Amino acid sequence: MSKKTVPELIEILVSLWATPRVPQYMVDARASLEMPMQCTSKPVIESPEIAGFPPDLASFWLHFESVCLFQDVNYGQWGLKLLSQPDSRSVTSRSFSEFLECYSDVEGQKFWEPQFGS
């Protein structure tokens, strides 16, 4: 069996879960709450700049704008959202800034400083 690429795996999930359905583990547990889940993808419209990114991530962004896996279609919760490159940059930048703000000592000096040019 050959190793599948990230885009191939996502295509398989999206094709199997394009029509919302209740996961088997909920059926087996006889869960009273019906939570059909679905996988969706948005194809890439404009090829992003991928230089310097890990190969699997670059491959993902060359094929998809974004992907949402196993989202509850009734309530819009659960699931895993794989972000577009611009959204990923924005969230990472915002999260990094919040991280630095949270980890400052009483004198305002950061416990960690990024190392550039190593």
Sign of CA dihedral 59, 98, 90, 74: positive
DSSP symbol at 38: E
- The string of pLDDT tens digits covering residues 50-63 is 888 899 999 999 99
Question: 0.85 cut: is pTM over it?
Answer: no
Please say if the pLDDT value at position 118 is more than 50. no
- C-alpha–C-alpha distance, residues 41 and 10, integer Å: 8
At 117, the pLDDT band (50, 70, 90 cuts) reads low
- The string of pLDDT tens digits covering residues 2-44 is 899 999 999 999 999 999 988 887 778 877 777 899 999 999 9
